[in-house]
Every structure is written in structure tokens, then in C-alpha cells.
Amino acid sequence: MFASQDIAPLKVADELFLVSSTIERCPKTMMIRELFMNAVEAAIQAPEGGQLIELRSNKLGTSQKLSIWNTGPGMSSEELYRACDLAASIGKVKGLDENFGMGAKVASLPSNKIGLRYRSCKGGQVSEVILCERDGVYGRLRRESSLGSWDEVLDVTEAVAEEGVDVASDWTEVTLYGNRVEQDTVRDPYDGNPIVAGQWLADYLYYRFFRLPKGLIVKFLPGTHKLDGTRTFRTIPDRAFPLGKSETIITPSGVAIHYFYDPPLLNTSHNKSVSGAITSDVSVCAVVHKNELYEVKRSRQWTLDAPLYGVTFGAKHISIYIELPDDFPVRPEAYRQFLRYKEGDQRQVDARDFCDIARENRPGWLIDLIASFAPADSGSTDEIRDELQKLLNSLRVKAPSLRAEQNGAVEMDVGPGKGYRPDRQGGETTGAEGADKKLTLEDLLAIPSGSKRASISLNAERAPEIVLLRNDAQIEEKGLKGKAAKFYQDASQLFVNMRYAAIDAMKRQLELDYAASPDPEAMRHLALELSERTMVSRVGRAVIYALAKQLNREWTNDDMARAQSPESLSLAADDYLDALQNARRRMSQALRIGKQEAEMVTAD
């Protein structure tokens, strides 16, 4: 071990540049998370029954400015001064997995260059600091006091009392001035970059904080939300879960999967949770860690990914939350925008990393519910699937084999493997030691040395389940408008757009070829059937050949993903002309048989 005196700590040569670059690189949309989290950490230190946060709309001049006010220990002028430095905090422990001591200031200043006003009341005295940017330099604003001195911290107790604010108990307030004097930071916190929806504030907190500390009350005052009056903010488990059906499954690894069904609101296009809410009602999939939501997939992004999690249909009404244990080997990146794994290449955590366990642990009621949203009559695809399975087998496409890792989560006993046979005295029978022993039936049937599994025994991948979509809403939900099909390899499901243009084009061609058929109705029905079957078969075969490229070392995962993409499958569907001859042959045969049967009935 080295002693601290053996190290000369590194210093910052250009402090102004480091401060500016740290602030300018921070994602602006993290501002509310950081400010709100600071308010939470302070408010929960207030006495029981007095733990309160208020989101306020304050009129300063002609503009509305957003304020976040909280109870809890206030700061003296000295403490407030110190708290405004980067990597500084009062009464908190800093750490890579905990408080960084710079989040709120760093995240807020790019969108509040005019000013970020801090006020804190401690012991009846209110201190004020304004952080801002002037000429590219970030810092505390120096203002001239009534005594003619230029100060960074001011005592504003008198001014606050004149505003009618209570100073009998401790509190802290942060007000966002924005980047322009006339900017309404309640409605437009980022000065149009990015543009936000009218209910952005409630939505942000709703889809960021999965839980809040027990006893903490968060209020949205008039002007800060889309409804009227003062509203109490509630998180997803507190507000939405009681309105529908939910269940939590704890997996052996400690990961908790929360399944939630939000029923449709009668006679509307909304979910039931929209009623009386200050937030939106869209379904989501997200990762939860230490009560915060990461990797949030909402609306269309979620409905497109939902089949990977086993939600084939009904994703508009179903949400899945994947909650990681506090000690799971992940940590937030520097600005807390996403999670990273602590080990290996420390890549970003993706919700799809857990789609298999979410799919495999679905409760029975949810599986039944998903089935109820499926198309009523999409047609049988068993014959095509059987053909695809034969093609898979012929190409020797194998499903990935699961292996136990030495340092994995599954514990295994160390011992002999399959085929081990002790001798009659309890010892092992091996090589020369058993050469003189009497030959037995077991010896005759033993597996010869060097044997391996025959190809018929190998775990060939199963042909995908084929789901035919005939409803415009379901086609839109799967992102297949104007595209032929979409394949989800993890879920082994192939969704086919049965309204794709190639089907109608082939059908029209066959109807033209057999316009003279004596039974036009039967002919048109057969033309449609053959056209649909041709397209489903073509996209299915394209998927199988793409899967077969797993055996080709020259094909990367990205190459295979492109080969399986909706765009590639659409091109396969468009190339139906070479299948026309086979379709014509089947049309001729079927129509000839139909004609002969009709003639036999007439003769009788």
C-alpha cells in the first residue's frame, strides 16, 4: 500500500475551461432530475408530517418562472456559498454510485444562463445566490448591495417577508430564470431546444421516479400542470397499478419483473389511468434501479419492441418494469442519463438485456390477456411453418446452446459427468485398470471413445411462429405500414402484413390470367389464397436463409440483422414474379378439378 504522502495530487491547470466544459457537455434534459433529487434528499430530513416539495409557477416581471421549493434543513449564507461550487454538497456523502455533488448546477446552468436563483431559509434568515453565465464564464453573480459592496451572497430575509413568505421554519427554493428575460420556464424550460409538451414536468417526474420515500408529499401548484388547482403527485405503483391489474415476479437472480395492465377507458382511445391524471397514460417498458427509471421505452418505441418481451399484442395497455437489486453490478454514468455495467466493457444497460426473463416469467393472466388482443381469425400457417422447419433442418441451423459459466450465477456441484460408472468396489473404472475385468452388457453398450452427437440429435432451431396481421391498427402498431414483415429473433416470431401491396399485385395478375374461368368467385378466392401463401412463404424463407448465415464466419451480427430487417423482407415479398408460374400451375389444377366435379354433379 502507498501512503498518501507518496502521492502529489493532480491539479487543474485551466479551471475555467474545466468548469465550462463540464457544464456544456451535460444533457440539458437532466436538469429537473437533479433539482428534484436535491429537493427529495433535503425534504426527507424534515420532521415527520412536514416532508414536502412544491412545484411552483412564480411571476417575475411579465414572465412565469418555475420554482422547486422544499422543506428540510436550510443553509446558512456560508453553507449556501460552498454548496454552489462544483463537486460540493452539504450534508451528503459523495460517491460514484451516490451523490456526485455537481449534478443540479451542471445540468441546470446551460438552460439558465441568465440565472439560477437559490434561496435558503435557516433559523429565520434567508440567504440568496444567483448562479449564471456571463461572457462564457460560469459562476456566482456579484451584485451591489445597499451598502455599496459587491457580494455573491445576499441576505434577503426582509424582501422575502414582504412577499408574505413564512420564515419560521427551514426551507430551500431554486428558481429557473432561463436564457431570456421573457422566457416562460414553466412552459418552455429549454428555450425551445428541445421543445416540450404542455405536461412535460409531470411526465418527466412520472417516467423518472418509480418510487418516492414514504411520507414525502409532492405538490404541483396551479400553473405547473394541465389541470386546475393544486394536485398531489403520485408515482406509477401508487397511482396506476391500483387502476388495473399488476403482478410482481421475483426471479432467482433477484431481478423483479413488474407486469401492469392498464385497461382501455370506455369509449375513448386512452387507458384508464388517464382519468384525473396530470400525466400521460402511455404504456412503457423500463429498467428500475434504486427507485429511478432508466431505458424508458414509450408509445411506438415500446409497441415495436414489445414482442421481444412476450407482449405480442396489446402493448398499448401493458407495461413491464424490470427492477434491478440495489447491489446489481451497474452504476449511473456521470450525468445519470443511463446505467452502465460495472464489469467487462462497461457497456450501457439496455432493457432488452432482460427481455428473455421478462418473457419467460409472464403470469398466466397476462398470457391470456395478450391472447385476447390477438387477431380473431388470421388463418392457419402450419403448413408453411412445417416447410420452413424442413428448410431449417436441411441448412443445419442450430439454436445457441446454453453453457454454465465458471463464475456464473448458477451453482453446480463438482462431480462426474454423464456416462460415469463406478466399479463394483466403489472406485472408478478407467483405461488399463479395467482391462482385466469381466466383460459386461454395460460394457458392450458403452459409447465408443471419440463419439459425438449425430446431426439428427443436434438442437436445430425451431421455425418462427407466423402471425398474420390483417387489421390496420395492428399493422401500424408493429411498424409495418408499407412493409411486408418483421422478424423478432429472440421471441422467434414473424409478423406478416397481409395488406402488403405485393399480395394485391399478384392476385390481380392471377385474376387476369384466369378471367375466363367458369367459376369467377372460386377463381378470385383461390387467387387471393395463393398470393397470400406465396408472400408468407417468401418472407419466411428469407428469414430462414438469414438465420443460416450464423454458420458463416464472414457475416457479422449487424449483417444478419440487416438481412432480417423489414426492408429486406419487403424486397423478398416484392419479387413474386418468379413464383407466378408455380401459382398458375396450382390454379389450373384446382380449377380443372373444380370443373370436372361440377360436370359430374350435372350428369347425375
Percent of the chain with pLDDT strictly greater than 70 = 83
pLDDT grade for 439, boundaries at 50, 70 and 90? low
pLDDT at residue 398, as a whole number: 63
**CB count in 10 Å sphere of residue 513:** 16
Closest Cα partner for 177 from 129, 123, 249, 222? 129
Query: Is the pLDDT score of 297 beyond 50?
Result: yes
CA neighbours within 13 Å on the CB side: how many for 599? Answer: 7
Query: Which helix H or strand E contains 513, and what residues bound it?
Result: helix 501-513
Query: Is the pLDDT score of 378 beyond 80?
Result: no
Q: Which of 287-296, 383-392, 593-602 has the lowest mean pLDDT?
A: 593-602
Mean pLDDT score of the chain: 86
Q: Which whole number is the average pLDDT over 535-542?
A: 96
pLDDT at residue 552, as a whole number: 85
Query: Is the pLDDT score of 422 beyond 60?
Result: no
Per residue in 461-475, pLDDT (tens digit) is: 789 999 999 989 889
Per residue in 50-97, pLDDT (tens digit) is: 999 999 999 999 999 999 999 999 999 999 999 988 765 555 544 445
pLDDT at residue 452, as a whole number: 53
Place of cell 423489414: 566
pLDDT at residue 478, as a whole number: 92
Per residue in 542-568, pLDDT (tens digit) is: 999 999 888 888 999 899 999 999 999
pLDDT at residue 427, as a whole number: 46
CB neighbours of 477 closer than 8 A, spacing ≥ 6? 303, 315, 316
| Nine cell digits for residue 112 | 439558465
pLDDT grade for 429, boundaries at 50, 70 and 90? very low
pLDDT at residue 440, as a whole number: 66
Query: Is the pLDDT score of 15 beyond 50?
Result: yes
Q: What are phi and psi of 152, to 5 degrees?
A: -95, -30
Q: Which whole number is the average pLDDT over 559-580?
A: 94
Per residue in 20-30, pLDDT (tens digit) is: 888 888 899 99
Query: Is the pLDDT score of 487 beyond 70?
Result: yes
Percent of the chain with pLDDT strictly greater than 90 = 66
pLDDT at residue 394, as a whole number: 87
pLDDT grade for 6, boundaries at 50, 70 and 90? confident
Higher pLDDT, 85 or 292: 292
Q: What's the angle, vertex CA 432, arms to CA 430 and CA 438, rounded to 5? A: 80
Cα(432)–Cα(471) distance, rounded to whole angstroms? 71
Q: First vs last Cα of the chain: how many Å apart?
A: 105
Per residue in 167-195, pLDDT (tens digit) is: 999 999 999 999 999 999 999 999 999 99
Phi-psi group of 104: left, alpha or beta (phi > 0 → left; psi -120 to 50 → alpha; rest → beta): alpha
pLDDT grade for 448, boundaries at 50, 70 and 90? low
Per residue in 243-289, pLDDT (tens digit) is: 899 999 999 999 999 999 999 999 898 999 998 899 999 999 999 99
pLDDT at residue 572, as a whole number: 95
β-bridge mates for residue 248, sequence order:
258
pLDDT at residue 380, as a whole number: 72
pLDDT grade for 204, boundaries at 50, 70 and 90? very high
Per residue in 211-251, pLDDT (tens digit) is: 999 999 999 999 999 999 999 999 999 988 998 999 999 99
pLDDT at residue 401, as a whole number: 53
pLDDT grade for 121, boundaries at 50, 70 and 90? very high
pLDDT at residue 221, as a whole number: 98
Q: Which domains does the chain have, with CATH numbers?
A: 15-220 (3.30.565.10), 236-365 (3.30.230), 382-398+460-603 (no CATH)
Higher pLDDT, 594 or 173: 173
Q: What are phi and psi of 436, to 5 degrees?
A: -95, 0
Q: Are 90 and 45 in contact (CB under 8 A)?
A: no
